[in-house]
Structure 1
Amino acid sequence: MTRSFLILHGWQNTRPPGHWQRWLAEQLEAGGERVAYPQLPDPDEPRLDVWTEHLLAALDTLPAQGRTVVCHSLACLLWLHAAARPSPVPPVDRLLLVAPPSGEVLRRHIEVAAFAGPAASAADVRASALSEARLVAADDDPYCPAGAAGEYARALELELDLLPGQGHLSMDEGYGPWPSVLRWCLEPGVRVEARAGAMPPG
């Protein structure tokens, strides 16, 4: 089966050099994989409807079979909203949600409040990712203070890789090259581990 990858960034992210998602896109492309890594419009003041249109357009550029989606931060909520639409997002093969922020935190910021509180159910997520849906989160993410395990993993019946002391899994915590995520992309079913040399627990 032909593989392809869609990588979606979060709030205020302009795909900077050094970010693990940009590194991941480069590594996959260097290995001959087909990759879409779009710059979503107005990342400082994103609109849910506009980002959804771009998500659907990016998916449409990839083959219908063998698609993997990797979301970080606000893009996780983008995917969950898209999965819960009356006309839901076309299903993909595999889905990785990394460090989703909580609705409580999003509602504190007018720029992203519309992304809070998706009505997605576990069934919606299963329908959007046919083979695997996995959540990767830290136990101390300031953007999800109540913990992603309860807010997302249990509620949506997601496989969870909990990484102690790794914050928001961003460049601030040392998440540039992240070989474990690359391995997950290429080897279905493996667990995602913290990046070696990233911010240590405590």
Structure 2
Amino acid sequence: MPRRPTRTVPTVLLPGPLGASDQDWQPWLADQLRGAGREVRLASWPAPDAADLTGCLAALRNCLAGLPDDGFDVLAHSAACLLWLHHAAGEAQAASSPRPSRVALVAPPAPERPLPAWDFLRPVPLQVDALRRAADGTVLVGSDDDPDCPGGVAQIFGAPLKMAATMIAGAGSLTAASGYGPWPAVLDWCGRDNLAFLA
């Protein structure tokens, strides 16, 4: 029986553009948090053949609507991390949406990697000040062997964004295929108040 998280704020999950499989950590995490009485919102993106930046940003803002400023967390996975960077860079749209307390960007793909159906995310804005304004705190989480981010998130994203990254050895793209269905560390992050992600 997992321990009940102590943090009680809502959690917003932003899955990759193809959605999370039932075996990936996002559905598992949603079940764990809801079982502990937490509010969970899972973003729903436009169909792949109809997706564009405007529509995906609108879906993101819709998912955030009504949440309290500085009173919720966001976890983005895969290409949804790049969408969050676009959201942060669009200062007017970011200012019109509630501001999260914490954001975790998990396994973002390198900006030059092919993104089927979501190539409209390129070029990816890497704007330090905009990202800092978009949330109280943001953390990067990735692995040292992610095929979608050669070189690792610390080099590709952490350095230009001037932020630390939590690196997990041998975790691939942090999906069920690499052993990240149930993921106690992400549940632990959701249950704590500080920003650091403990792998």
Which among 104, 119, 123 is matched to residue 117 of structure 1? 123
Gap runs ≥5 in structure 1 = 194-202
Deviations 1:162-184 (A, max 9, x none): 01111100111011111110110
* Deviation digits for residues 92-137 of structure 1 (CA, Å, limit 9, x no counterpart): 110000000011103xx4622211222231111111111x211000
* Residue aligning to 1:49: 54
**1:197: which partner in 2?**
none
- Give the secondary structure class of the aligned counterpart of 2:140: strand
Letter in 2 for 1:178: W
C-alpha deviation, 1:141, in angstroms: 0.7
Identity level (%): 35
Q: Is the 8 A contact 2:17 2:45 kept in 1?
A: no
Paired amino acid for 1:41: P
TM-score, scaled relative to structure 1: 0.86
Residue among 42, 60, 71 paired with 1:66:
71
Provide the aligned C-alpha RMSD in A.
Answer: 1.9
- Residue 3 of structure 2 corresponds to none
Whole-Å Cα distance in 2 between the matches of residues 47 and 169 of structure 1? 25
Find the aligned partners of 2:14 and 2:118 in 1 and give their Cα distance.
16
* Cross-structure match for 1:101: 109
Matched, 1:182 2:187: yes
Q: Number of residues paired by the alignment? A: 189
Residue 19 (structure 1) shift: 1.2
Q: Which residue pairs with 1:12 in the alignment?
A: 18
CA offsets, 1:143-196, max 9 Å, x none?
111321111112112231001111100111011111110110110334331xxx
Question: Are 2:42 and 1:37 equivalent residues in the alignment?
Answer: yes
Distance of aligned partners of 1:43 and 1:33 in 2 relative to their CA distance in 1, 3 Å threshold: farther
**Runs of 5+ in structure 2 lacking a partner?**
1-6
| Distance in 2, Cα, partners of 1:116 & 1:51 | 14
Amino acid of the residue matched to residue 124 of structure 1?
Answer: A
2:172 corresponds to? 167
Higher relative CO (Cα under 8 Å, sequence separation at least 6) belongs to 2
Measure how far apart 1:9 and its partner are: 0.3
CA contact (8 A) 1:4 1:63 kept: no
- Residues 44, 59 of structure 2: 8 Å contact kept: no
Q: Does the 8 A contact of 1:12 with 1:44 survive in 2?
A: no
Aligned residue in 2 for 1:198: none
